[in-house]
Amino acid sequence: MRAGFRFKGWRVISAVAIATTAHGAYALETDFTGFATVAAGRSFGACQPNTMSTRFADACTRYVADWSHAGVYTEDWSASQESRVGLQWDTKLTPDLSGVVQLTGRLSPGQKASVEWAYLSYAGVKGWTFQLGRKRVPLYYYSDFQDIGYAYNTIRPAPDVYGWDVVNYNGGSARYMTQLGEWSIRQDFFAGNESSKNTPYAKLFYDAVKTIKWKNLVGASTELNYDWFTTRLTYAQSKYEQMDKATGLPDAQPSGATEGKQKFYGIAFNADLESWIIRSEFDVADRAEFAYKGRFYLMNLGYRLGKFIPTIGVSGYRESTPFPDHYAPLKNRTTSAVLRYELTNKSDIKVQFDRASESSDTTVVGSSKAIAISYDVVF
């Protein structure tokens, strides 16, 4: 379990379960579910320079498919960058109290199986659900089910939008759901901390081991749904700090400070109009106090043709900085073409082609093309 407020998910849930059983107040209901994605891909195109860590120095081309977990395709075929499996244990402890634990394993180099979710959930107040433990930071529309490849029509949510140095947090959240006429309304509030040791994200840029801390994280989102239309608005903020493991000291940011405040803003517009599938997100990551401000987006258009869903998409990520002498802003744009085939009502196969074009003043990753194929299943 990573640091933070050190929620011991397994121990807390087990203790409550034992206590409940001992009193004979409620018969436990337990459900085991899971998901898996097996994906293989490679990058290709003209050789490009880069300013990534030395582990990518010999690669002719590179395509970052998963920034958060350092999933990078090179010109050699690999099934390690995005393949994963997850097992989830849901236990109803009382009519109002339940526990969830999710263990996820990845084939990404240097990564082990980890507890992605471990929380208690209480729903004893009408309309409200309160949760305490370890969860995924809910910055985006797909955040809650981002690892479940079967849940969306592309192999991955666009990396230009999805992928930050911290994935999970330890803390608490509250959700309120209600109906207003024909509109469904869901409001979420969350707070906590995370200390990501030996973070995979940092391995993309540093040879040294880094710990990244998001402290005093707070945020809220509102999701509105009307029949075929869904929109979601999000805001989050925290303190940011990066530590060097070898020295135990915080790294200086481009501003010269060792920590600063970051803010995230986002809005999603999604629609399912008969056979048409529209997905879009527009976001801002404001770290201008100590480094940069990033603006990014994705737009996908899909169409159902029996068991096939062809999808085209475009996404982009562009940074600006008040510290040009100490920070090189990243500017990237990606176009995608995807074909999904529904094998069963619980599995699919996808093929995806991406063309990433970087226009940064100092090349970070470089432009490239990428091809990948995946098999997704839920069980």
Span 183-234, pLDDT tens digits: 999 999 999 999 999 999 999 999 999 999 999 999 999 999 999 999 999 9
- Name the DSSP letter for residue 305: B
Mean of the per-residue pLDDT values for the chain? 93
Task: Report, as an integer, the average pLDDT of 140-161.
Answer: 97
Could you tell me if 215 and 250 are in contact, meaning their C-beta atoms sit under 8 angstroms apart? no
Q: Please, are residues 161 and 297 in contact by the beta-carbon 8 Å criterion?
A: yes
Residue 4 has pLDDT above 90, yes or no: no
pLDDT, residue 17, reads 43
Query: Is pLDDT above 80 for 260?
Result: yes
So where are the chain's domains?
A: 39-80+123-378
270-327 per-position pLDDT tens digit: 999 999 999 999 999 999 999 999 999 999 999 999 999 999 999 999 999 999 999 9
pLDDT at position 25 is: 53
Whether 6 has a pLDDT exceeding 80, the answer reads: no
CA angle 149, 151, 155 (to 5 degrees): 35
Has residue 24 got a pLDDT over 80? no
- pLDDT tens-digit series, residues 94-128: 999 999 999 999 998 778 889 999 999 999 999 99
Report residue 57's pLDDT band, with 50, 70 and 90 as the boundaries: confident
Q: Are 79 and 373 in contact (CB under 8 A)?
A: no
Record: fold of 39-80+123-378? Porin (2.40.160)
Query: pLDDT band for position 26 (50/70/90)?
Result: low
Under the banding of pLDDT at 50, 70 and 90, the label for residue 93 is very high
| Buried b / exposed e along 131-169 (16+ C-beta atoms within 10 A) | bbbbbbbbbbbbbeebbbbbebbbbbbbbbbbbbbbbbb
Phi and psi angles of residue 152, each rounded to the nearest 5 degrees, phi first: -140, 170
Average pLDDT over residues 253-261: 96
**pLDDT classification of 131: cutoffs 50, 70, 90:** very high
Q: Per-residue pLDDT averaged across 258-267, rounded?
A: 97
- Say if residues 144 and 167 touch (Cβ distance below 8 Å): no
The fraction of the chain above a pLDDT of 90, given in percent, is 90
